[in-house]
């Protein structure tokens, strides 16, 4: 994947530059479409298998977005919608089938799974070279070793946002003080490892961090992934910091907001990502990128 497509910058209401994840994701999907066309000319079409278990409406929306992106790019999608009563053994059997299917390059089981299913067993059953969510021990371990292969889509999307925004400004992550709020396996932990790999000095904060405000005030890069609406106050943000908001919260009015007080923060930040239109679309774009690179890696095609 190249980062050639420049994305025009616009401003948040407070004055900070907007890090437009929606536009960046569209550019990445365009790059991937070209790669997939080249693969198809050589007789290869990447395939993504997605399992959705149960009736969680938010999960159904996320899966719908992923299938739509596959169609747009030319990736073949295989979808399994399973009832909430599905057992761990049944889900493992489906993963075994997909692991053995050469036309399946990526396997994604939408989380969270219904209570009663052993999530850890399911995540670890996915073949590491098809683990396009990057949640398995093999891929997470490689990232911790500084030799990433398939990286979790949300934190990788954040890194791409920082890279694509920073490049035309002569700005990079290297040497910056970064604060990551959240230490989940899916977002905070891999996020911190990626920032570390890009030579930031990284502080990881969580629910037991005594002075979160003080930590954020020191940061030149803030990645908020706590899952707490408006946890990060505008006046915590250092002048000129770059802020990425991973949180997603749907209000009673149906509107989406993030973990950061967007308006006040954008009066102090140099650049900030919005919710919606920030990390969300980038997460899906990076899933597509992982599927294409899993295909290239597995089938030995470098196009
Ligand atoms: P999670 O598994 O619930 O983890 C949340 C993390 O935040 C935990 O490490 C927790 O600390 C920490 N935390 C919670 N409250 C805190 C507080 N008051 N101060 C400091 N740290 C606090 O959530 P997740 O899956 O990582 O997701 C985080 C957010 O990102 C959610 O809003 C989720 O919807 C969103 N998300 C968005 C995307 C996207 O595509 N845009 C993708 C994934 C997730 P402890 O470890 O101490 O409990």
What does the pLDDT look like over 274-292, one tens digit per residue? 999 999 999 999 999 999 9
Q: Averaged over 165-194, what is the pLDDT?
A: 98
Cβ–Cβ < 8 Å for 53, 90: no
Domain layout of the chain by residue ranges: 44-127, 151-280
Q: Which of 20, 105, 110, 130 is the catalytic position?
A: 110
Cβ–Cβ < 8 Å for 46, 36: yes
What does the pLDDT look like over 83-134, one tens digit per residue? 999 999 999 999 999 999 999 999 999 999 999 999 999 999 999 999 999 9
Test site for ligand 1: of 69, 135, 159, 226, most ligand atoms within 8 A of the Cβ? 226
CA of 201 to the centre of ligand 1 (A): 21
Helix or strand (DSSP H, E) at 99: helix 88-100
Residue 205 vs residue 8, higher pLDDT: 205
Q: Averaged over 257-273, what is the pLDDT?
A: 98
Q: What is the pLDDT of residue 279?
A: 98
34 has a pLDDT exceeding 70: yes
Q: Averaged over 141-167, what is the pLDDT?
A: 98
* Superfamily name and number for 151-280: NAD(P)-binding Rossmann-like Domain (3.40.50.720)
Q: Say whether 151-280 and 44-127 share the same fold.
A: yes
Active site residue 233: no
- What are the tokens at 7? 């994305």
Distance (Å, whole) CA 97 – CA 82: 15
Q: Which residues contact 3 (CB under 8 A, 6 or more apart)?
A: 160, 163, 164, 167
Q: What is the pLDDT of residue 49?
A: 98
Atom of ligand 1 nearest to the CA of 226: 7
Domain 44-127 has CATH 3.90.1150.10: no
Considering the chain, what percentage of its residues have pLDDT values greater than 90?
94
Residue 265: band (very low, low, confident or very high) from pLDDT cuts 50, 70, 90: very high
Residue 302: band (very low, low, confident or very high) from pLDDT cuts 50, 70, 90: low
Active site residue 110: yes
Distance (Å, whole) CA 173 – CA 159: 9
Test site for ligand 1: of 21, 134, 179, 227, most ligand atoms within 8 A of the Cβ? 227
Considering the chain, what percentage of its residues have pLDDT values greater than 70?
96
165 has a pLDDT exceeding 80: yes
Q: What angle do CA 289, 277, 150 make, to 5 degrees?
A: 20
CA of 207 to the centre of ligand 1 (A): 10
Cα dihedral across residues 117, 119, 121, 125: positive or negative: positive
Q: What is the pLDDT of residue 41?
A: 96
**Mapping DSSP to helix (H, G, I), strand (E, B) and coil, where does residue 11 land?**
strand
Helix or strand (DSSP H, E) at 266: helix 262-266
Cβ–Cβ < 8 Å for 289, 262: no
Q: Is the overall model pTM greater than 0.85, yes or no?
A: yes
Q: What is the pLDDT of residue 152?
A: 98
- What are the tokens at 45? 């079409």
Q: Averaged over 59-73, what is the pLDDT?
A: 97
Atom of ligand 1 nearest to the CA of 227: 32
Backbone angles phi, psi at 242, to 5 degrees: -105, 125
15 has a pLDDT exceeding 60: yes
Residue 13: band (very low, low, confident or very high) from pLDDT cuts 50, 70, 90: confident
Residues with CB under 6 A from ligand 1: 154, 181-184, 186-188, 205-209, 212, 225-228, 231, 246-248, 279-280, 283
Q: Averaged over 183-187, what is the pLDDT?
A: 97
Active site residue 211: no
Mean pLDDT of the chain: 96
Backbone angles phi, psi at 96, to 5 degrees: -60, -45
Cβ–Cβ < 8 Å for 55, 85: no
Residue 5: band (very low, low, confident or very high) from pLDDT cuts 50, 70, 90: very low
Q: Averaged over 237-257, what is the pLDDT?
A: 96
Angle between helices 153-166 and 21-41 (to 10 degrees): 110
Test site for ligand 1: of 24, 207, 250, most ligand atoms within 8 A of the Cβ? 207
């Amino acid at each position: 994947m190249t980062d050639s497509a420049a994305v025009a910058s616009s401003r948040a209401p407070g004055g900070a530059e907007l890090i437009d994840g929606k536009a960046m994701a569209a550019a990445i999907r365009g790059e991937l479409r070209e790669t997939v066309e080249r693969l198809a000319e050589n007789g290869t079409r990447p395939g993504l298998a997605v399992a959705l278990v149960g009736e969680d409406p938010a999960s159904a929306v996320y899966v719908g977005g992923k299938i739509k992106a596959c169609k747009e790019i030319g990736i073949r999608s295989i979808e399994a919608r399973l009832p909430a009563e599905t057992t761990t053994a049944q889900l493992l059997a489906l993963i075994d089938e997909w692991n053995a299917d050469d036309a399946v390059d990526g396997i994604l089981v939408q989380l969270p799974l219904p209570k009663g299913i052993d999530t850890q067993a399911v995540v670890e059953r996915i073949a590491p070279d098809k683990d396009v969510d990057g949640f398995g021990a093999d891929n997470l371990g490689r990232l911790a070793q500084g030799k990433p292969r398939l990286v979790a889509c949300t934190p990788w999307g954040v890194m791409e946002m920082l890279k694509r925004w920073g490049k035309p400004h002569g700005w990079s992550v290297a040497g910056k003080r970064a604060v990551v709020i959240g230490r989940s396996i899916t977002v905070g932990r891999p996020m911190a490892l990626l920032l570390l790999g890009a030579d930031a000095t990284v502080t990881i904060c969580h629910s037991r961090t005594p002075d979160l405000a003080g930590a954020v005030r020191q940061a030149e890069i803030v990645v908020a992934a706590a899952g707490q609406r408006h946890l990060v106050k505008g006046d915590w943000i250092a002048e000129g910091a770059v802020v990425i908001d991973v949180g997603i919260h749907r209000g009673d009015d149906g509107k989406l907001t993030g973990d950061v007080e967007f308006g006040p923060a954008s009066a102090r930040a140099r650049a900030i990502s919005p919710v919606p239109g920030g990390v969300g679309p980038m997460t899906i774009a990076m899933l597509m990128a992982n599927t294409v690179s899993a295909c290239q890696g597995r089938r030995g095609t470098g196009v």
